[in-house]
Amino acid sequence: HHSRKAPPVAMTLQERLGDRHNHLNAIRLALASLVILGHAWPLTGADGPGLVFLSDVAVNGFFVLSGYLIAESRVRTGLVPYLWRRLLRIYPAFLVCLLVVAAVFAPLAAAVEGRPLDLASAAGFVLSNADLKETMDLLRMGLDARRISPPTGINTLFHETLAYLTIGLVLSFAVAARHARWVLPAMFLLVLVLRALAVGPLDVAPGVYLNGARLMGYFLVGAAIWAW
């Protein structure tokens, strides 16, 4: 007598991502590598393949993943603990990156170019970017403006912070949290319409608004996937 093996139990996406072995870090590493690859040639001023679109695709993927995880985090915690955790998630590492650029890479670049480091500019770089705004002026810190193209990317941390605040506030309303399956997709459709209007009839020029709408849209896609 041979007993039959029971068929494998189908897992939901929530159950699979809730497992410790969900490979999310591997996915993040792959997306981060695409961002680096896409920006490699423009940031060095070298001629190379036009791979900037890879960075856009990877950033979109980051925001979908973030929307999924952050929406779940919000409903599991109160608003204040949620905001505190989001702050700890972003800001300390961001500040370390600013300090490393100003204190390590800027002096190295200045030494390679054979010119003195502008300490006031290095300090100003840290202070002006500490509020997550996208100033990112590295050229006066010793980088050679003749060989380095202007930055082609966007400061996604600023947009991600806005997305954290938006989803945190929206899901603070009990009615929105109860009907998240409809509220979050409706918010995505609203952003989609507003972006179409901005590109078309409204002819909104500043890219920060268009990029913000694009990234918020992908974030809401991830949140809607969580809700369903």
What is the full per-residue pLDDT of the chain (228 aa) written as tens digits? 555 666 566 677 777 776 666 678 888 899 989 988 888 877 777 777 778 888 889 999 999 999 999 999 898 889 999 999 999 988 898 889 888 888 888 888 788 877 777 777 778 778 877 877 655 555 444 444 444 444 445 568 888 988 999 999 999 999 999 999 999 999 999 998 888 887 777 666 566 677 888 899 999 999 999 999
SS3 219: helix
The single-letter code of the amino acid at 125 is: F
Q: Are 217 and 195 in contact (CB under 8 A)?
A: yes
Tell me which amino acid residue 14 is: Q
Q: How many residues make up the chain in this entry?
A: 228
Backbone angles phi, psi at 134, to 5 degrees: -100, 75
pTM of the predicted structure, to 2 decimals: 0.76
Question: How far is the C-alpha of 166 from the C-alpha of 187, rounded, in Å?
Answer: 11
